Amino acid sequence: MNSHAFAPAPSWSRAVIKVGSQLVAPDGRGCSTAHLLGIAQFIQRHRRRGQDVILVSSGAVAAGLSTDPTAPAPDQLSIPQKQAYAAIGQSRLMQHWSRLFDVPCAQMLLTYDDLQRRNRYVNAQNTVSELLEMGVLPVVNENDTVATEELRVGDNDNLAAYVAVLADADLLIICSDVDGLYDADPRVHVDASLVPVVETIDREILAMAGAARSGISTGGMRTKLQAAEKATQRGVNTVLVNGRTTEPLDALSEGTVRGTLFKRSASPLSARKHWMLHTLPSAGRLVVDAGAARALTERGASLLPSGIVDVTGDFSRGDAVDVAGANGAALGKGITQYSAADVRRIRGAQSHEVPDILEEGTSATDYVVHRDDMVLHGS
């Protein structure tokens, strides 16, 4: 990388730093300090400057595997085995990090359900805030010991983005085993070029992602781009740097991004719309005609029954549903005012016809999804 390609680092007062299992456990088992000493020094340096830091760390399964020489290879583990080894390894992972700091570390284990349910989300917010106020370093990981498939975030890149939003951070730092985002996989294409700055994460940027190559890692470049998209849409600058050496984090401390900077959105989503788009699960799908698609995307209109041409899923009033154009293109997500059964009855109808179509006593509105309950992709 040439120095002229380096981007200036954004200023920040609170950061979330994500450390992947490839850095915690380079050999796939146990915990190593080989790459973590420099990361710990970075965290301590900025804490001394009065900045808040929250650590999101992978590695519990790898730490647990180190206790069992007969354990299968990481990519051969069943879900129950992963949960068991995570249960064994969580305490070992915390002990490993605690040895690197001269301040108390606090473990926080989260699941997707904690992020989805408002009361749990607020409790997690309050806990992070109180820990930072106490001068404690929060260390966050997914609760792999109990999370079922439908309640898992699935990777700590996306978890770190959720934590950055939850904690109202202004910077997300993703430490990886590559130098940043390249326009092609640098491990395959020797002429691949680093992308120093990404203004917007669009289809072209997402196409640059490859697949994870490690049996112990659950991520890859795609999950890092997904995380950056979540964070930047909420106004959180995101940087992707190589955590295997100290130089990128040292440079970041000195005001330079030796990696890739994903710039925050100039018009961040509101907290509610960000939650709807990225956290609230969809229970179904509404397909709309071309006229309705234009009304939604160009005028910010509500979705009326007359514009709906197809319904999939079994959802209830108040559930979130995806909205797509007739060509299959995803338009956004919204909260429906009708159940799937009722939408099937009224699709294509004019709003004034709805009360006569529905069963007597059913509450009727002119719209299926109000514009205030709709968030569009790219908005």
Residues 345 and 264 in one domain: no
Residues 199 and 344 in one domain: no
Residues 227 and 287 in one domain: no
Mind listing the pLDDT tens digit for each residue in 293-334? Answer: 999 999 999 999 999 999 999 999 999 999 999 999 999 999
Task: State the CATH number of the domain containing residue 119.
Answer: 3.40.1160.10
Is residue 102 within 8 Å of 133, Cβ to Cβ? no
Confidence of residue 146 (pLDDT cuts 50, 70, 90): low
Predicted confidence (pLDDT) at residue 148 exceeds the cutoff of 60: no
Residues 147 and 295 in one domain: no
Residues 29 and 84 in one domain: yes
Residue 274 counted as domain residue: no
pLDDT at 1: 44
What value, to the nearest 5°, has the Cα angle with vertex 273 and ends 268 and 279? 110
Mean pLDDT calculated for residue range 232-261: 96
Residues 18 and 87 in one domain: yes
Residue 67 counted as domain residue: yes
Residues 332 and 354 in one domain: yes
How many domains does one find in the chain? Answer: 2
Residue 211 counted as domain residue: yes
Structure tokens at 342: 């009722």
In terms of Cα–Cα distance, which of 35, 21, 37, 55 is closest to 244? 35
Last residue of a domain, one of 216, 234, 269: 269
Residues 219 and 317 in one domain: no
> pTM for the whole thing?
0.84
pLDDT at 364: 85
Contacts of 35 (CB under 8 A, 6+ apart): 23, 24, 26, 243, 244
- 201 is in which domain, residue-wise? 3-269
Residues 241 and 299 in one domain: no
Task: State the CATH number of the domain containing residue 338.
Answer: 2.30.130.10
- Above pLDDT 90, what percent of the chain? 67
pLDDT at 209: 81
Residues 312 and 211 in one domain: no
Amino acid in the structure at residue 119:
N
Mind listing the pLDDT tens digit for each residue in 160-192? Answer: 999 999 999 999 999 998 899 998 888 788 888
Residue 276 counted as domain residue: no
Residues 293 and 264 in one domain: no
- Mean pLDDT lowest for which of 187-191, 211-215, 301-305, 371-375? 211-215
pLDDT at 165: 95
